[in-house]
Structure 1
């Protein structure tokens, strides 16, 4: 037992010496090797393992780099169903706004095109209407009415003819005569009409002319011969005064130049004999009889 143990111990010592041969200069080349086979095995065995170790380390490094790259990629990419980053939201909004602006621009262009087509159609319609207008006007326009021609001794003003009598009658007889001529005692509504008639009357000492106004039915309620009430009037200062049952109106024109048309009406008894003024509206069927 002692011999076997010593042999193993010595063999271990020689193996250690062989492994450290390149590092211990005090060991000489003359020392006897314990086992040639073991020496060759110890020297040549580390080569393949070292290559395998280097390959494995390289593969590990590549795998580690790949894992880091994939992790970084998925870390920056938002997960499905999660909230988008502000940058992504802004990009999405920008895209939507751009799309909306493009749609608005397209609609505006379509609107402009439609307006242009509408204007063209309107121009064509106007041109067609203009070409047909003369025919329509020619076929629908009535001939202008013939000019009003008053009978002899009658004077035209607006659409009425007026007659200044040369003989005298009382107020009722004067109205009857005017009616026989297709008219009535003159009804004077405007200052222009009053002035027109005033200028037809001759001046004299006291030239008085009946016209169509009376308050015979109700005192101080003057009405025209067509029963419409008087509004305003062209009375002389202090008239009407009903001095002696004066119920009919007349126009007075004297030689006094200070007298004016718009202050020339007086009231007088209807039984007085005066000259008179007839009025006749002109129209289809109007009488053309010559008064005398």
Structure 2
């Protein structure tokens, strides 16, 4: 019989709780390990203090910190590496540009130096020409390197220390000799093959271009002498010359259009009365300037 004042619903709830408890005890009695466990659930001790979970948490946090630091370090390394490489590349490019500018400046200075040297040489030539009047051929004597140059006037050509003149007028041999002497010179005296070749190269080619020079055997036949009285020395006669064909006592040089003719076989003898152009020569002392009378 229920207590006074209790409701039928309360009684039903209470009866259900009692039935559930009885069903639980019956279920545990049917399981073989219930009640025989070495460590019954109700007897499990409670852990006091931090316990293994707290220690594991600390280790895990430490590991995470180490990993985080490693990630930050690696990120910083790879972040800074391209920047450093870029700075190095920029520095190399700058040095290359500086070197290019320097080479351009050096090349500019070389060109300016060459131009200055050219201007200096032209100025020296101008000053020399202004000081020597009409002089054209200039050469320094070989005997003394410090001596003044030999100077020839216009239309006279310098070889060693002599000036040579190729006339455009014709005279017989005696008149040619007098003309040269009036210029302070004489008919050309030729001692070497080099001198002969130099004079030959001054002569124009023609059908039969003949020029008197300073040799004669007028005093003694077949004894050729120069106008200064010295004996002939090394001759440069053409083959078969001199032949004294018609009282031929004076010598002349021939240059024709025949290219096979050579300078060292170009002398002929002819009558001194024939009219030919002529070759004058004036020896010059070192440092002298030839002023020929007109």
TM-score (norm 2): 0.49
Bigger Rg, which one: 1
